[in-house]
Amino acid sequence: MTDKRVDVSHVALAAAGAALTLLLAACGEGTQDAAQNAGAPTSSSSSSAQSTTQPTTEEQQPTSETTEPGTSQGQQAPAEASGLCKAGDLRLSLGRGDAAAGTQYRPLQFTNVSGDACVIQGFPGVSYVAGDDGHQVGAAAFREGAKGDPVTLNPGDMAYAEVGFVQVRNYDPAACRPTDVRGLRVYAPQETESKFIEVPGTGCAGENIPGNQLTVQTIQPGSGDA
């Protein structure tokens, strides 16, 4: 009987030892899997990290709309792309004047009455005319100052050139030879066809007066009215 108890005890101990070994092995595998999962992010987490640290192509390379503005932002034609203003494109007028030291200054205004933009630049030709034939009286207006930049006139736009009218009665009548005038003959810059503005007054027919009975400055944008 004693030997049988010993054998049974040995069998029981062996069985318990085997069960304990299996239990420890299972615990070890579970611990190893958890460590691996903590150290290796999933593919979705990795993609999320890449999208955070690596900007997309759109962020790195702005679109052409940003770097290359469209023509709508600069459609006004440059001066060299528009034709020169011709006499038929323009309506002439005289603006309000200011007097100073025996000379009255008035803006000679050019309004674009055509349907297209045109360019005007420099000094207009200005002189007194008289009689039914419109003959010139005295010297043409003396140019004062430097030639200005081109002025693009869109339809309805205006530019002007300041004209100085000297009080000719201040001259010696023998040198001046005062003459009644009907107005002004005006040539737009670089134009051969003239326009007439009615401005009755008195001019000097003599061309050897000490000074200039008319002066003109370069054309500028605007009306010139004070």
| Domain definitions of the chain by residue range | 2-73, 80-221
Encode pLDDT of 145-167 as tens digits.
Answer: 999 999 999 999 999 999 999 99
pLDDT of res. 55: 35
In the numeric block, the tokens 């605007």 are attached to 222
Q: Check residue 220 and give its pLDDT.
A: 98
State residue 178's pLDDT score: 97
CA nearest 85: which of 151, 163, 161?
Answer: 151
The fold of the 80-221 domain, in CATH, is Immunoglobulin-like (2.60.40)
Taking only the tens place, the pLDDT of each residue in 34-75 is 333 333 333 333 333 333 333 333 333 332 222 233 322 223
Instruction: Name the burial class of residue 179, with classes exposed (0-12), middle (13-18) and buried (19+) by CB atoms within 10 angstroms of its CB.
Output: middle
- Kindly state the average pLDDT of the residues 10-24: 43
Helix (H) or strand (E) holding 60: helix 57-60
- Nearest by Cα to 112 from 84, 89, 131: 89
| 92 CB-contact burial (10 Å; exposed 0-12 / middle 13-18 / buried 19+) | middle
The per-residue pLDDT for 74 is 28
CB atoms < 10 A from the CB of 106, how many? 20
Nearest to 183 by CA among 120, 124, 125, 137: 137
pLDDT at 99: 74
Residue 46 has a pLDDT of 33
User: CA 221 → CA 126, 161, 188, distances in Å?
Assistant: 19, 9, 14
